[in-house]
Amino acid sequence: MPDDAASRTLLEMRAAFQRGDAARLAQRLAQLQGHPLEPLAAYWTLRARLEQATTEEIRAFLARWSGTYWEDRLRNDWLLQLGARGDWATLLAEAAAFRMADDPEVRCWVALARIERADAAPEAVASTVRDDWLGQRQAGAGCAAAARRLIAVGALPAEAAWQRARLAAEAGRSAVAIQAVALLDPAWAALAERALQQPQRYLDDKFTAVRHRTKEVVTLALIRLAAADPEAAAREASHLRWRAQLTAEEQAWVWGAIGKRAAQRLSDQALAYFQHAGNAALPDEWREWHARAALRAGHWAEVRRAIALLSPAKQAEPGWAYWQARALQASGDLADAERARGLLQRIAGPEGFYEQLAAEALGQPVTLPPAPPPPSAEERAAVRAQPGLQRALLAIELGLRSEGVREWHYEVALHTPGGLPERALLAAAQWACERAVWDRCINTSARTRTLVDIGQRYPTPWRELVVPRAHAVGLDPAYVYGLIRQESRFVTDARSHVGAAGLMQLMPATARWTARKLGLDGFEPTRVADPELNVQLGTAYLKFALDDFEGSMALAAAAYNAGPGRARQWRQGPVLEAAVWIENIPFEETRDYVKRVLSNTTVYAAVLSGQPQRLGDRLGRIGPRLATARAPDSELP
């Protein structure tokens, strides 16, 4: 079968799979017999009718494609169905062969199966189920079923269900909260739904304070109210009737939710709200906002206290280790200064926002590590002989990017425990680079810990296009490269779920506006992913944003990601060092984006110049627009 015909068949089969057209898939499968991507086509065909397939059919597929990603992907799907059916014996037998083992729903079903078959005491699996259940964003059936069983036998306290409901209420996931409450008593679900849908009205009801189970549902209502209006929630939480009825732990959760939402709104009241929560155990995400509010207020002792209330794993992350070091330094105590130095030394490095700041705090500018010895011919050959990697690259080249990316990741990270060894990772990354599959090159090389190849992690494709265009509009090429690496990983046909396209991920409206500003006659939105046009428009827009934000790379990056209106709003308030301002960006995606763009920029500056660099030189301070500055560009989209 010619490759072009195979490509058309595969693309047609993917469309049929997305439609759920099992008949069409079955008709086309024979045309791909012997093709390298036959396992993928076979997966689509069986997955589309998995609920009707027999155990023999499924096991025949698993045996036929043993060792591949698509075998393990189908096993994952099947395990979820086996759990829902309560087929505990088959579930446990197949779970033992599940190599990815990364699905919390599967883990919960397995835990329940072990209890039901008396393979494990409920207490032995309770902590695993609890962690997976509380960490789920959706109302998964498996973890809910396992939690219900554990609560019924007393291995999991009822408080765990209320805790899950609180987390869901704060995040606006009412279905999750109601599911958790219903595990305790289905009759309470309607009351919880009412409280979550109209929290203020529920709290104003004169009968609320005397209803059975009032305090737990009142806690949910107050937390939900905090998400919409933290000031109104603070007023409600201060009422005597709730202070008298709620336990200290419930009040702490309410004030923690109020504090988090106030901090996200950059309110000066956030710290005062967190003070009401005391030292109670709260979700890490809420305590992170406690620390951010303290940073914004310049209250270093409170920064230190908030970080100390985080879990040990969260405290160990580079960002909080850095801020803990800064808080220790602010105390003026010699012992604290020595401890701070130890924290900075632990995280300092040439990559990563806080790693670079830590290195600079120790007087070490960003210098690039020497490249490791390149992969040998034998190492390259061994990697290129792996069928899974071959299939992944072929799928990507044929336009099946998501499928290829998943298979590639499985081969390098999940097929064997711990993933490929570092020399093999470098060889795989080199292969991806040579094929211009830059995202796989970067992400694969970034998995190494001791062998760091900056050339793989920070490639400079399209240099003949990017560097002259950046210079032409007055931008640092390193800044442009830092942004492209974060936006698209140099995938020219990258398209986001909101429609951003190309190397610099331009939104259609932004592309049209910029084309008009540049006087580009005959601009066609369908061409926006073309690399030359995309970089022309993207660099121009970035320069417009940089000029509008008085040369602040951090503000311009935030505007590029979240829009200039939000960036202008976020800069209001006190004048802050840029790192503090960035840490307080309310949107997690934008906060992470700005950090990565700026740390990428610093590495690219070292790559392009061959000279040591400082991230701090690109930060400065951020506050309201000066009265002497020109008016903001109200047209900037």
Q: Which of 267, 196, 259 is nearest to 225 (CA)?
A: 196
Contact (Cβ atoms closer than 8 angstroms) between residue 384 and residue 431: yes
Catalytic residue among 94, 302, 403, 487: 487
Eight-class DSSP state of 30: G
Per-residue b or e along 398-418, where b marks 16 or more CB atoms closer than 10 Å to that residue's CB: bebbebbbbbbbbbbbbbeee
DSSP bridge partners of 390: none
Question: What values do phi and psi take at 254, rounded to 5?
Answer: -60, -50
What is the 3-class SS of 138-153, one letter each residue?
CCCHHHHHHHHHHHHC
Distance CA 270, CA 255 (A): 10
Q: Helix (H, G, I), strand (E, B), or coil: what is residue 128?
A: helix
Q: Which of 104, 91, 86, 94 is nearest to 61 (CA)?
A: 94
Distance CA 354, CA 344 (A): 9
DSSP bridge partners of 621: 577
Q: What is the residue-wise DSSP string for 336-381?
A: HHHHHHHHHHHH--SSSHHHHHHHHHTT--B-PPPPPPPPPHHHHH
Which residues of 535-603 form beta strands (DSSP E)? 576-577
Please, where are the H alpha helices in 229-268? 230-237, 240-245, 248-264
487 is catalytic: yes
Q: Which residues contact 43 (CB under 8 A, 6 or more apart)?
A: 61, 65, 70, 73, 74
Residues tagged active-site: 487
